[in-house]
Amino acid sequence: MKPIAIVISVVVLVFATTISAQTTAPQAGPEYNILDAWAGEWTIQLEAKDSPTGPAYKVDWTLKGRRILGGYFLEVLHVWKAKGIEQNGVEITGYDPIKKICMTHVSYDDGNWIISTPTFINDRTCIEIGTEYFPDGKVTKMRNTWNFSPDWMSLSFKEEDEKDGTWWTSMEGKGIRPQAK
């Protein structure tokens, strides 16, 4: 009886190990850690304008990012508060380790959406080139510059929009990440 129990135990162990190995999803390697730049919670204070000559106003922007799908992608929840309005968005960002660029898609609850390619030009500076599409058919070209501090706990942010072939600063500010990434 004991030899049969041992054989059954070994077969069950081998079967369980095989199933576990087959159902474990691959995990992203360290080359995907660049996504952690936006992981955690960021609080960003901005001054924004809707046109090159328009009046400036304050924006409170919160980003809550976390790696998903085995670490290959980043999900970021956005909350914008400005001019008495709250706007919510969800972002999915992936990283191409061959081209060394991110690919981002952000959708907002007012129907506008953004596609962009954030690219690190050095250890702590990211230039994001993108296009924002609005429900009324308006399309805006944008260029964002993200400058992260050496400890990755603060940043400066600048967005420039293109109008009639000229780039102008539409938003500028600073942010902090109070917890470790």
Q: Where are the domains of the chain?
A: 31-176
Given a cut of 70, the residues of the chain with pLDDT beneath it are 1-23, 180-181
pLDDT digits (tens, 9 = 90+) for 28-59: 999 999 999 999 999 999 999 999 999 999 99
Q: What is the pLDDT of residue 18?
A: 44
The pLDDT assigned to 177 comes to 94
Residue 178 neighbours by CB under 8 Å, 6+ apart = 41, 43, 153
Q: How buried is 42 (Cβ within 10 angstroms: 0-12 exposed, 13-18 middle, 19+ buried)?
A: buried
pTM value is: 0.82
**31-176: CATH superfamily:** Calycin beta-barrel core domain (2.40.128.20)
SS3 115: strand
In this structure, which amino acid lies at residue 14? V
pLDDT at 5: 45
